[in-house]
Amino acid sequence: AQTVTQSQPEMSVQEAETVTLSCTYDTSESDYYLFWYKQPPSRQMILVIRQEAYKQQNATENRFSVNFQKAAKSFSLKISDSQLGDAAMYFCAYRNRDDKIIFGKGTRLHILP
């Protein structure tokens, strides 16, 4: 069974600085998807970024980018120029071939003004 591990329960970053959230996963599949979801205090789950395992190029979405290391089974999220609105829980997630998404336990990100 696949697992997703986020080793940082909480992190803080100064506004306008860069922060990296870590995620590792375990799988025997070769074809899968990885995601980062954001959950602000409103509790809405918002898709931040997606990475297909077959793509070597790291996904980017504006200030958000990933460092995908398939061999190491690592999928970290980098947030550049952090803004107050980035404060939220961030969940790393893995989608397997059975269409099931497995979530990590989340990292709570605080933005310091």
Enumerate binding residues for other proteins (CB under 8 A).
Answer: 33, 35, 37, 39, 42-47, 50, 52, 89, 91, 95, 98-103, 105-106
Neighbours of 13 (CB within 10 A): 18
Compute the least distance from the CB of residue 37 to other proteins, in Å: 8
- Of the pair 57, 113, the CB lying nearest other proteins is at 57
- Report the chain's terminal Cα–Cα distance, integer Å: 41
Compute the least distance from the CB of residue 89 to other proteins, in Å: 6
- Of the pair 25, 35, the CB lying nearest other proteins is at 35
Compute the least distance from the CB of residue 30 to other proteins, in Å: 15
The answer to whether 45 and 35 are in contact (CB under 8 A) is no
Distance from C-alpha of 36 to C-alpha of 53, rounded to nearest angstrom: 14
Compute the least distance from the CB of residue 47 to other proteins, in Å: 6
- Of the pair 63, 105, the CB lying nearest other proteins is at 105
Phi-psi label, residue 62: left if phi above 0, alpha if psi -120 to 50, beta otherwise: left
- Of the pair 9, 81, the CB lying nearest other proteins is at 9
Distance from C-alpha of 22 to C-alpha of 1, rounded to nearest angstrom: 20
Neighbours of 76 (CB within 10 A): 18
